[in-house]
Amino acid sequence: MLKNGIRLFIVLCSVMAAVLLPKKSYIKYLPVSLFSSSVIMFEIFYFTVHKLWKVKGSVGAMVCDTCILLIGPYLFANYWVLSLSKGKFLPYTLINLVADWIYAFPIVSLLRQLNFFKLKISSAKFFTLIFSNALMNYIFHKFYESCIAPKQSTNHPEFSEADFY
């Protein structure tokens, strides 16, 4: 019962974050969010195979928790951090340091105590991992903005950026 309440709370918070997110951010930050979600899926797969992460219950419970955490708070946290920092490195880094610290220490600790999942690495290592992911996301975003996005806009000159908003 408690676990379902936590799941519901996470989903409701994610829906609220999605509703409040500026509409332009969805299209602008979609590539980096998809990249980031793919990396996290690989990490979850690695953690599962090497028994570094366990969810109490069946495989279905693990898939449910993975989807809720990945599609919910992780995805919209990426959108919000990129949107708030406006793609600038220092604000992006500072926001991620604070958000990742809050997630890696108090939130993961609480979820462990509530038996939501078991993570067999220390909170410090987990913080290092998620902050490294954040830096990798920033690099990917800058690469995408400078190399891929300009080529896409020249391939379709009949569309302007205003058509998507």
Residue 149 has pLDDT above 80, yes or no: no
Residue predicted with more confidence, 67 or 157: 67
Rounded to two decimals, the pTM is: 0.81
Helix (H) / strand (E) containing 68: helix 59-69
Q: Which of 83-92, 117-126, 145-154 has the lowest mean pLDDT?
A: 145-154
Q: What is the pLDDT of residues 36-50, one digit of tens each?
A: 999 999 998 999 899
Give the chain's mean pLDDT.
86
Q: What is the pLDDT of residues 65-91, one digit of tens each?
A: 888 888 878 888 888 899 999 989 999
Mean pLDDT across the stretch 126-133?
95
> CB neighbours of 49 closer than 8 A, spacing ≥ 6?
none
Angle between the N-to-C axes of helices 75-85 and 2-20, in degrees from 0 to 180, rounded to the nearest 10: 30
Q: Specify the DSSP class assigned to residue 121.
A: S
